[in-house]
Amino acid sequence: MSRALGIAKSCLIGYVLILSMMIMVPASVSAQWYLDVSIGSGDVTAYRGAQAEFSWDIENEGSASIDITEFTANVDWQPQSTIQVFQGTATIAPGSYRMFYLNLSVPQQATFGQHMLWMNITGQEVGETSPSILKSWEAFEVAEIFALGLSCTANPNRLGALEGVSFTSTVTGGVEPYHYSWVFGDGSTSDHEAPIHSYSWPGTYTITLTVTDSSPTPQVQTQTLTVHVTMGIFLWSVVGGIIVVAVAIIVVVLLVMRGASRRQNQNKSPPPPVG
């Protein structure tokens, strides 16, 4: 008997949940406008103590203009408190749309996992006296922020001068996007994730990578690595070419000086005869 009651209770709860979701699904109004929910490039991920940024666009697909007069929201951790997204008059012409934004403060005590945001948008065709209310909902996640981890490599870490070395990094934890700061040890820097750099002169260079994440309280990690730079084939060839050119110039100068000396001796008058 108790098992049957349990099954019946589960079915009833499931029915109520399905019915509530059907009620909250975006509904069309008299002017055939609808709510298109877009959260950046995808779902919202919120963090404790930070602002969760929501954005929506309401598009008018009807033939008459629409006036949006109010946009409110409620969040599940404080369902009785109404958040005012917009109040006034926002007219949307046929075939056009209007963007609405909400920066939602996430409290430190918010539980990790999925949360719900319910929206109520009041609008009507221009000239009408009876507004329509569009109800919708949006799920979002409050995520835990893990410690920022960082490693970096140089390939190759032994190379010749004027040759390129590829730097790569691996970042874990924290909050994207990450911000990169490479210092190559020769006065050059880069803010790319995986830069390529070349060194003009031989030596041992210490490279420093600093990564900062986008957490509410930014996390920073720094790693160093070493690159050994030799003369290299190309630089040796350049130096060799300079030496060859210098030797050639010296030889030419010596030949010119020798020729000038011979001509000078030929132009001298012979000494007068003795007697």
Q: Which of the four pLDDT bands, split at 50, 70 and 90, describes residue 41?
A: very low
Out of 105-109, 188-192, 255-259, which region has the weakest mean confidence (pLDDT)? 255-259
State whether 37 and 130 are in the same domain: yes
| Residue range of the domain that includes 60 | 22-142
Whether 61 and 122 share a structural domain: yes
Tell me: pLDDT of 14 over 80: no
Best CA proximity match to 46, nearest among 175, 147, 146, 136: 175
Count of domains for the chain: 2
Residues 64 and 115 placed together within one structural domain of the fold:
yes
Q: Say yes or no to pLDDT of 52 above 80.
A: yes
Q: Is the residue at 93 inside a domain? A: yes
Give the mean model confidence (pLDDT) for residues 87-101.
90
Distance, in Å, from the CA atom of 252 to the CA atom of 246, rounded to the nearest integer, reads: 10
| Lowest model confidence (mean pLDDT) among 64-73, 182-191, 205-214 | 64-73
- 23-27, 139-143, 212-216, 269-273: least confidently modelled range: 23-27
Q: Residue 11 pLDDT > 50, yes or no?
A: no
**Mean predicted lDDT score pLDDT of the chain:** 80
Question: pTM for this one?
Answer: 0.61
Task: Tell me how far apart the alpha carbons of residues 107 and 83 are, in angstroms, rounded to a whole number.
Answer: 15
Choose among 171, 179, 189, 111: nearest CA to 143. Answer: 111
Top pLDDT among 171 and 136 is at 171
pLDDT of the residue at 237: 58
For position 224, which CATH number holds?
2.60.40.10
Question: DSSP characters for 218-269?
Answer: --EEEEEEEEEEE-HHHHHHHHHHHHHHHHHHHHHHHHHHHHHHHHHHHTSP
More confident residue, 1 or 189: 189
User: Which of the listed residues 121, 142, 163 is the one where a domain comes to its end?
Assistant: 142
Asked if the structure places residue 15 within a domain, the reply is no
Q: Is residue 274 part of a domain?
A: no
Give mean pLDDT, residues 228-245. Answer: 71
pLDDT in tens, 154-207: 999 999 888 999 999 999 999 999 999 999 999 999 999 999 999 999 999 999
Residue 254 amino acid letter: L
Confidence of residue 256 (pLDDT cuts 50, 70, 90): confident
Q: Read out DSSP for the chain?
A: -HHHHHHHHHHHHHHHHHHHHHHHS----TT-EEEEEE-TTS--EE-TTSEEEEEEEEEE-SSS-EEEEEEEEEETTEEEEEEEEEEEEEEE-TT-EEEEEEEEEPPTTPPSEEEEEEEEEEEEETT-SS-EEEEEEEEEEEPPPPPPEEEEEEESSEEETT-EEEEEEEEESS-SSPEEEEE-SSS-EE--SS-EEE-SS-EEEEEEEEEE--SSS--EEEEEEEEEEE-HHHHHHHHHHHHHHHHHHHHHHHHHHHHHHHHHHHTSPPPPPP-
Asked if residue 247 belongs to a domain, the reply is no
